[in-house]
Amino acid sequence: MNSAFGARLTASVSRRGPLCVGIDPHPSLLEAWGLPLSAAGVERFAMTCVDAFGGDVAVLKPQSAFFEAYGSAGIAVLERLTAATREAGALVLLDVKRGDIGSTMAAYAAAYLADDAPLAADAVTLSPYLGFGSLDPALDLAEQTGRGVFVLALTSNKEGTTVQRATTAAGRTLAQEIVDQAAERNAGASPLGRVGLVIGATVGDTELDLSALNGPILAPGFGAQGGTVDDLRTVFGPNLRHVLPSSSREILRHGPEVPALRAAALRVRDAVSVRHPR
């Protein structure tokens, strides 16, 4: 990587606008697009998405699970998708939500964040619920290779609140502890640090102090899950300028024709850009 992830993300958003489009070849979408439930169907879906979004959208976010479901053939599609996205000029945020300890975490990091890894992405999603320190192998390798990570902090699924809003011994919510530890990793970085957070667009009042984060925020749930432009303003307030809204089904349902997909993505991007300070 020629520059740190925070700088590359900032530049991509400046050129292309603040939007992340999820590439989620869910079986229902494959069927709606008239594609077979196979690795071949997934590949046609994925490459159609690259054709539609790769030249205009800042970040594409493949959901690894939908590729893994087809075994080695699906993983091979994911490799080709990652390469094609990068060639088209978009950043690749691989949604893997990995979280483990010791040598296993180091192996996950090598799979997605090492320079010579076939699945190397610009950034990945990580789960910190074995302790934020368990992510150190990934955070350290990301620092070495100029890549980024997005750590789950406050997600929109109802089950997450019992853990993420729980109060720690220090009297803060677990989500705030995650924010604070990410901020420590980002201290002094310019224009943004490499450690981002995942905070759902539909969570309402986060009660989080994000003022010291100095990192990007991925906001899934925009569109089909109910998140609106006004929700982004309510949830993130003065931190909106660092928010990357993510939309998947709201855009993908317009497939399989490339012009319709591209037009849907640009509509969402433009709607977000109206309220997104630069």
The catalytic residues are: 97
| Three-class HEC string of the chain | CCCCHHHHHHHHHHHHCCCEEEECCCHHHHHHCCCCCCHHHHHHHHHHHHHHHCCCCCEEEEEHHHHHCCHHHHHHHHHHHHHHHHHHCCEEEEEEEECCCHHHHHHHHHHHHCCCCCCCCCEEEECCCCCHHHHHHHHHHHHHHCCEEEEEEECCCHHHHHHHCCECCCCCEHHHHHHHHHHHHHCCCCCCCCEEEEECCCCCCCCCCCCCCCCCEEECCECCCCECHHHHHHHHHHHHHHEEEEECHHHHCCCCCHHHHHHHHHHHHHHHHHHCCC
